[in-house]
Amino acid sequence: MIVPLEELLKNTKSHYTLVLAAAQRANELMKGGPALVVTKSKKPAVIALEEMAKGKVSCEEDKEPTKSKKA
């Protein structure tokens, strides 16, 4: 399945957030997490994007940026 970028961006405002969420989900799949959609693909990144397109996985943006502590 080809996952259109426009479909994925409906749930987030940022390409960056989308990529981070997809990468995190792909890592979970590589560690043995179950796929939430039926797919022909065996690639974790593609499965993660398909899950996001079907609304099974969402990416949430931080409401407040993390502040670093200065030494």
pLDDT value for 62: 57
Q: Is 68 exposed, middle or buried (0-12, 13-18, 19+ CB in 10 A)?
A: exposed
The number of distinct structural domains making up the chain is: 1
Domain that holds residue 32: 5-53
Name the DSSP class of 24: H
**Within-domain flag for 64:** no
**Within-domain flag for 58:** no
**Within-domain flag for 60:** no
Q: Is 13 exposed, middle or buried (0-12, 13-18, 19+ CB in 10 A)?
A: exposed
User: In 3-state terms, what secondary structure has residue 56?
Assistant: coil
pLDDT digits 0-9 by tens, 7-63 = 888 877 788 888 899 999 999 999 999 999 999 999 999 999 999 988 888 776 654
The predicted model scores a pTM of 0.77
**Within-domain flag for 67:** no
**Within-domain flag for 18:** yes
What CA–CA distance (Å, rounded) separates 6 from 24? 20
